[in-house]
Chains A and B, each alone.
Chain A
């Protein structure tokens, strides 16, 4: 069993509810993400929020990103700070980028928002572009990029912004097997780039999400309850299913997938 400890609370959702008129969408969402500390390893957090299509994942995603306010309850980060738009790095489904900006311009836009790299924006953009192998794509517009380059540019843009939290909306949706592997590796690379880096993946792709996560939250509807809530939390580290390359072949992993499917 890998040695680890869960330290301070990084994010906390407290009784979050969301309704549209009289129609409840989310009901009493409660969960916390804590800093995972592994001796000798710079280990960030990778959390998956799984749920069926149409259950309210996108709404929860928007609440976590601060793009929408909950009807009641609160989402706080780093202690007591109420989450606001701009606090989190957000990678949208289909990896949206401004079509009228070159990749370089888009990356500069994000870098200029990061006080930690003030004055060194150019160097930071070049470093990340080199690390993610998109240096040659910097002068291009998004429509000139391949799907993979677009994904990397979109992720780097949010990384340059400097937020510890990165939210991904359906990052595996519509990807072929080769690109999927690259995206998975990229997310793992990001997760170990900083101790406090926290990736929150909102997805309905159970297998891929579980394979790279340390914790899984299952969003679903309890019988008789209005709206979706967190039905179950699975600590994958406790089950020895986190941070392993060939995890998909293990029986415990397959059993966990079955357990999640049964809960959805």
Chain B
């Protein structure tokens, strides 16, 4: 239906699906697209890994009162815009690649922390009580209930928030374009009003997002079989 609507509503400004498909085929045939996708994926995966490590440290430690307030501040940082932090991060980092990486991490971490804190807050009291009745100390209880017990939730959070990271990549790559990336490519084609290529790239970005969503979902089921709720 969407394709039909798109086809019939296309005019001089809006390219028809056929033209976008041709542009997509042209892009796919060039190494330029694949090189840039690889650059963006490497940056996103690297940023996600760093972000998850920082998130887990902050969230696990949030059970200690001092770190709880730090985690709560981090949650509020969702309302900061990355565009306003570019100058600060430029001063703090040494080159374009590091700047992009840390901008992306700064963008992702508040969302990760928000999601994981919500998981921790909603842990049922009986989970802690069962550990205590088994004679576990506080550290062992933290390990069993939060670290091991909620490990599947970490992947779920990555899956839910991958879209946010993917959304930010185009903006972040625009800050320093020398390393390339799919965001750089998109900005370039936008600059020259090459709408067919822009839409073709949007389709690539969309499909890559869906692919990663699927891969993360399969990985989660494989690593944590207990989340399958079938008898």
Contacts and interface: CB of A to CB of B under 8 A. Distances in A.
A61 to B, nearest CB: 11
B156 interface: no
Question: For B127, B134, B225, B226, which residue has the most chain A Cβ atoms within 10 angstroms?
Answer: B134
Given A98-B149, A100-B148, A100-B152, A85 B226 contact: no
A86 B134 contact: yes
Interface residues on B, range: 20 to 34
Nearest to A99: B226
Contact of B133 (A85, A100, A141, A144): A85
**SS of B interface (majority):** helix
**Range, interface on chain A:** 20 to 34
Interface string A50-91: 000000000000000111000000000000000001101110
A97 B145 CA distance: 12
A158 interface: yes
A90 B134 CA distance: 9
Q: Majority SS of interface residues in chain A?
A: loop
Interface string A209-247: 000000000000000000000000000000000000000
B130 interface: yes
Contacts of B144: 98
A110 interface: yes
Interface string B22-51: 000000000000000000000000000000
Interface of A: 65-67, 85-86, 88-90, 92, 96-100, 109-110, 113, 141, 143-144, 158, 161
Interface of B: 124, 126-127, 129-130, 132-136, 144, 148-149, 151-152, 224-226, 229, 231
